[in-house]
Structure 1
């Protein structure tokens, strides 16, 4: 507790280019950029595969890759390939980390919609994309949002690796604190990452309450 008071009570940690507000903003920027890129890749793929039910092997491979991905090792490899000075050594591993949960949950959500609902949508004259967007996605939305939430929390927790390649973010407090044995800074940085992850969790919970219809939410809870 004293270490936390030393860190958060030090006015020097709240100002300048290495202060807490700047580091939080950098961390959010890395995380948001990675999540957006992953969503642009995984969400359309998950919708397409879940709707057509073709390419399920890709989903299996992605799910297995999520368990085996050595994020820090991938950062080091990309640094060796492209060098430092850009954000790509951080963004690429974070995107690779975020794609599987978005892809898998989107696929499972769309694939798991009742056949009766699909048939009813086609019977009403809807076709292809209309069936997907108007009938399947609203029902699959809880699982889709779950995948986005898991990906976002993983990205926020892992974006600390940016400090390993000389970039900013909350990882600077942790990495620099360990290097200089400044344990208040290390613990304070870890607490900030945890708080940010909890805020992401709360944000997605609120989004789900607003975006998902009550009927779909009750049905999802009943499963």
Structure 2
């Protein structure tokens, strides 16, 4: 039974390691009366999955739904503009996004690494703050995003980062609009580390290891499925 705020339920209503609600139950509410016009979610999904040895980690099924679609639904439930980066030759990933309230953003230089997605997202954000969400983190749900967004709204000029329950910084991360110019100058697979260096982040602890769990290899997936039963 769904309880609490918005589309995703209460963060207190989902035990550590549990997954967000079935994404076939699509909701695009505006999360109450929050002013979200100055925020864009960037769901990074343009990687090659080369460590999966021929499989695509973002098309792995979680609760009978491809991981990419599940995470896109969680993002769309926040009621803000959602950009999903894709490589130029990823039609199956594009198909996984069909009928969702998200905007595919093809990144021609995706093979370069994460920087290409961040550059594209910063350019497309049109001056809004950017919530950077990694698509290979299956335990991040709509209520986790809502908690991070709430912290951003309370401190819109600060970097906001989800964290493990022990305070270890993780993802997603909100990069305020004042730092977007730095993202447009990134290169390679370094991510946003250089842009965020020296910035004091507001940390948002999430239950368990949700903010730190990403699945890159078949072994990662097997261990995670054994732990969660999914």
Whether these two folds match at TM > 0.5 is: no
Question: TM-score interval w.r.t. the shorter chain?
Answer: under 0.3
Q: If each structure's strand is expressed as a fraction of its own residues, which one has the higher value?
A: 2
Normalising by structure 2, report the TM-score: 0.24
Q: If each structure's helix is expressed as a fraction of its own residues, which one has the higher value?
A: 1
